[in-house]
């Protein structure tokens, strides 16, 4: 994490006064493959990044949270007993996490806090999950004797998105932020909650993100509509096969999708087609990784991009352009990363091609859109933790 404890501490003391508190951090994430599969009970393949959120926290003996956002230079006070909470979303994440921790029986009290982050906002790298996981981890440590297990902490962040922000997200981002491990990607089965760490050391390749700087915004976005389409398909299958145990598209087959044609919209079917394909692709990538077959991994990434763009329709012109440039430069794999509607492409590129690709992508993008995309080299880092 590039953010320094000292920087946060100086601002904490300046804006909140008194003695130092404890400092916690939690990262953003990348995802190699497995997009929009988490809320469909499928697999995801994320890893934590070095960039994240950092927060200084000190109990203040009251029932009030006094919070200062260092990046936005914004201050607010709100009671943990008030059901509505603050309006600004950067404070609502903290409020939501505190309320969810209280609902789990953690005796949360008021606290003073200052926070900052270096996950680019709107890049699809989960800056909000980083913030939620940072506070969930910290409040568990400060007020809860660390009695809440890590998966429940991830779910606290997810519930905050659902109830306080209005994004019906899956568990991937918060899971990655809490469970991240330096040098490792994680394969999570979102239905069972089982996960496995995979050492990530692709000899001869690099992972690089190209941020289109088109702001990806899931609040009020068609993200929830995509989820709804998947649920429509599940319900239609259930109606045709009442005996079948099916709660998500994880349990659906290609034949069943064919059977419900005409019972749900063609658009819903198109969305579900992507999800079924993506389920298979994650497993194919796991096999390929075990064999060290990065060409196959890259091929699946291109297929995912195609599906996200043409079937799930969460791409945008700029991201499709970056994907085309990657193809032209013979990059091994490239696709939209995260929820879509803007943000980054993730690219698996051989070391020999790296310089050529990055220079070409930046100059072509600038030529076409009149602004520079941002290049972010991926370093896989650790999950939520106490710094001091």
Interacting residue ranges for ligand GLA, rule: CB under 6 A: 35-36, 38-39, 126, 169-170, 172-173, 338-339
Query: Closest residue to ligand GLA, Cβ-based?
Result: 339
Q: Which is closer to ligand GLA, CB of 36 or CB of 184?
A: 36
Name, in order, each residue with C-beta under 8 angstroms of 387's C-beta and a sequence gap of 6 or more.
5, 23, 24, 25, 54
Q: Minimum CB separation from ligand GLA for residue 86, in Å?
A: 22
45 closest CA partner among 33, 28, 37, 30: 33
Q: Which is closer to ligand GLA, CB of 35 or CB of 268?
A: 35
Query: 207 and 31 in contact (C-beta within 8 Å)?
Result: no
Question: What span, in angstroms and rounded, lies between the C-alpha atoms of 222 and 225?
Answer: 5
Q: Minimum CB separation from ligand GLA for residue 33, in Å?
A: 10
- What is the phi/psi pair of residue 240, to 5°? -75, -30
Q: Minimum CB separation from ligand GLA for residue 172, in Å?
A: 5
Q: Minimum CB separation from ligand GLA for residue 35, in Å?
A: 4
Report how far apart, in Å, the C-alpha atoms of 386 and of each of 20, 115, 142, 152, 310 are.
14, 14, 10, 18, 42
310 closest CA partner among 271, 342, 349: 271
Q: Which is closer to ligand GLA, CB of 145 or CB of 194?
A: 194
Question: What span, in angstroms and rounded, lies between the C-alpha atoms of 191 and 189?
Answer: 5
Q: Which is closer to ligand GLA, CB of 37 or CB of 113?
A: 37
Question: What residues form DSSP beta bridges with 209?
Answer: 346, 376
Which structure tokens are listed for 240?
């045709």
Q: Minimum CB separation from ligand GLA for residue 234, in Å?
A: 16
Q: Which is closer to ligand GLA, CB of 128 or CB of 140?
A: 128
Question: What span, in angstroms and rounded, lies between the C-alpha atoms of 200 and 346?
Answer: 15
Query: 196 and 283 in contact (C-beta within 8 Å)?
Result: no
Q: Minimum CB separation from ligand GLA for residue 314, in Å?
A: 8
Q: Which is closer to ligand GLA, CB of 68 or CB of 175?
A: 175
Query: 125 and 51 in contact (C-beta within 8 Å)?
Result: yes
Q: Which burial class, exposed, middle or buried, applies to 371 when counting CB atoms under 10 A from its CB (0-12, 13-18, 19+)?
A: exposed
163 closest CA partner among 108, 107, 83, 223: 83
Q: Which is closer to ligand GLA, CB of 215 or CB of 241?
A: 215
Residue positions annotated with a catalytic role: 173
Q: Minimum CB separation from ligand GLA for residue 46, in Å?
A: 9
């Amino acid at each position: 994490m590039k953010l320094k404890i000292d920087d946060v501490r100086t601002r904490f003391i300046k804006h909140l006064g008194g003695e130092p508190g404890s400092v916690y951090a939690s990262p953003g994430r990348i995802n190699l493959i497995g997009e929009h599969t988490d809320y469909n009970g499928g697999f995801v393949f994320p890893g934590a990044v070095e960039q994240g959120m950092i927060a200084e926290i000190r109990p203040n003996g009251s029932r009030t949270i006094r919070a200062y956002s260092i990046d936005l230079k914004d201050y607010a006070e709100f009671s943990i007993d008030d059901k509505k909470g603050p309006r600004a979303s950067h404070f609502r994440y903290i409020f939501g996490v505190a309320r969810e921790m209280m609902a789990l029986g953690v005796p949360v009290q008021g606290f003073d806090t200052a926070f900052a982050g270096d996950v680019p906002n709107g890049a699809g790298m989960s800056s909000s999950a980083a913030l939620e996981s940072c506070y969930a981890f910290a409040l568990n440590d400060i007020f809860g004797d660390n009695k809440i297990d890590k998966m429940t902490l991830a779910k606290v962040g997810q519930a905050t998105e659902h109830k306080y922000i209005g994004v019906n997200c899956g568990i991937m981002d918060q899971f990655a932020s809490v469970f991240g491990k330096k040098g490792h990607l994680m394969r999570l089965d979102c239905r069972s909650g089982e996960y496995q760490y995979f050492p990530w050391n692709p000899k001869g390749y690099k992972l690089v993100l190209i941020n289109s700087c088109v702001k990806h915004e899931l609040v009020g976005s068609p993200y929830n509509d995509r989820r709804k389409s998947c649920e429509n398909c599940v319900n239609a299958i259930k109606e045709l096969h009442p005996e079948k145990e099916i709660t998500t598209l994880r349990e659906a087959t290609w034949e069943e999708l064919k059977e419900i044609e005409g019972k749900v919209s063609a658009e819903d079917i198109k969305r579900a087609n992507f999800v079924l394909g993506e389920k298979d692709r994650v497993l194919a990538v796991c096999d390929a990784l075990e064999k060290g077959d990065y060409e196959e991994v890259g091929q699946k990434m291109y297929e995912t991009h195609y599906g996200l763009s043409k079937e799930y329709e969460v791409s945008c012109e700029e991201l499709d352009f970056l994907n085309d440039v990657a193809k032209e430069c013979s990059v091994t794999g490239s696709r939209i990363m995260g929820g879509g509607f803007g943000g980054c492409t993730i690219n698996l590129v051989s070391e020999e091609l790296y310089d050529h690709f990055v220079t070409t992508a930046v100059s072509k993008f600038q030529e076409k859109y009149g602004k520079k995309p941002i290049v972010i080299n991926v370093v896989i880092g650790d999950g939520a933790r106490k710094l001091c």
